[in-house]
């Protein structure tokens, strides 16, 4: 029907119970649901329900749902997550320069977004930039600087208010974000290409063709617990949720 008849209070559509309307909408794909939401305010509200978008979101990349269906991003509308996922998949974005800096570095910067802060590797340092309240970009000057490497930071991770980084100098550095505590130890003979951190353990991979497991428990900080020899450099590494 035309928009005028659908939005009219006397439309037979609104005589149906909400459960039946949701059932009808559940047969629509993401594009059809989006178009339905443009008809009128009432249909926009109906077509934006998380219940309708969960099925679609579970088939999207990085929409906040595990393979078992657990929601890891509760509080964020599922429709918005699907939209971001689709934009990411198809390369749709707003091209805008939000930050410039003058420093020479060999590697591309690594970035992690955590709440209202963007953490960005710049040469041998990691800097934290606060997002502007109006959403227009980043504040010009960093709120914090985390240092410790003699060469470029290759990769870092943020876990439970900790930053763990691997550098071109072969070292691993751990910083407490809200404190002065830091740990640095020599980890590999060549650059540390990847790191991960969880439950008092650090894993790292390097150009030196090894992956290693490190302890952070009291009295054993920086002790290598296990070494995996590989046939080529290690580019990516992660600790599974089951450790």
CA-CA distances (angstroms) from residue 187 to 18, 137, 184, 215, 236? 60, 36, 9, 12, 16
- Is residue 6 scored above 50 in pLDDT? no
Q: Is the pLDDT of residue 231 over 90?
A: yes
Q: What's the pLDDT band for 5 if we cut at 50, 70, 90?
A: very low
The fraction of the chain above a pLDDT of 90, given in percent, is 60
What pLDDT, on a 0 to 100 scale, did the predictor assign at position 215? 93
Residue that the structure tokens 């041998």 belong to: 124
47-94 pLDDT, tens digit per residue, is 999 999 999 998 888 888 887 888 888 888 999 999 999 998 888 887
pLDDT for 3 beyond 70: no
**Better-scored residue on pLDDT, 229 or 65:** 229
Could you tell me if 116 and 129 are in contact, meaning their C-beta atoms sit under 8 angstroms apart? Answer: no
Query: Is residue 97's pLDDT more than 90?
Result: no
Could you give the domains of the chain? 12-90 (1.20.1280.50), 111-229 (2.130.10.10)
Q: How far apart are CA 87 and CA 126, in angstroms?
A: 28
Cα(163)–Cα(220) distance, integer angstroms: 19
* pLDDT-above-70 percentage for the chain: 95
Which of the 8 DSSP states describes residue 71?
B
Residues whose CB falls within 8 Å of the CB of residue 182, separated by 6 or more in sequence, listed in order: 146, 148, 173, 174, 175, 176
Task: Tell me how far apart the alpha carbons of residues 50 and 79 are, in angstroms, rounded to a whole number.
Answer: 7
For residue 109, what is the DSSP state? P
**Three-state SS at 16:** coil
Query: Residue 12: what pLDDT?
Result: 84
């Amino acid at each position: 029907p035309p928009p005028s008849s659908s939005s009219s209070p006397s439309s037979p559509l609104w005589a149906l119970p909400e459960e039946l309307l949701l059932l009808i909408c559940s047969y629509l794909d993401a594009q059809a649901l989006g178009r339905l939401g443009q008809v009128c305010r009432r249909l926009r509200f109906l077509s934006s329900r998380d219940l309708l978008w969960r099925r679609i979101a579970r088939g999207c990349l990085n929409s906040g749902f595990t393979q078992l269906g657990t929601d890891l991003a509760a509080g964020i509308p599922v429709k918005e997550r699907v939209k971001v996922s689709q934009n990411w998949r198809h390369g749709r974005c707003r091209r805008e320069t939000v930050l410039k800096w003058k420093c020479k570095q060999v590697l591309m910067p690594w970035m992690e977004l955590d709440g209202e802060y963007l953490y960005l590797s710049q040469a041998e340092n990691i800097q934290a930039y606060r997002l502007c309240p109006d959403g227009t970009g980043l504040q010009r000057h960093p709120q914090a600087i985390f240092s410790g490497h003699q060469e470029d930071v290759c990769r870092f991770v943020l876990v439970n208010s900790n930053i763990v980084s691997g550098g071109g100098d072969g070292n691993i550095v751990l910083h407490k974000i809200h404190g002065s505590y830091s740990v640095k130890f020599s980890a590999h003979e060549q650059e540390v290409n990847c790191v991960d951190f969880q439950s008092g353990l650090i894993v790292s991979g390097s150009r030196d063709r090894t992956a290693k497991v490190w302890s952070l428990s009291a009295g054993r900080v920086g002790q290598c617990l296990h070494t995996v020899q590989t046939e080529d450099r290690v580019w990516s590494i992660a600790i599974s949720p089951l450790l």
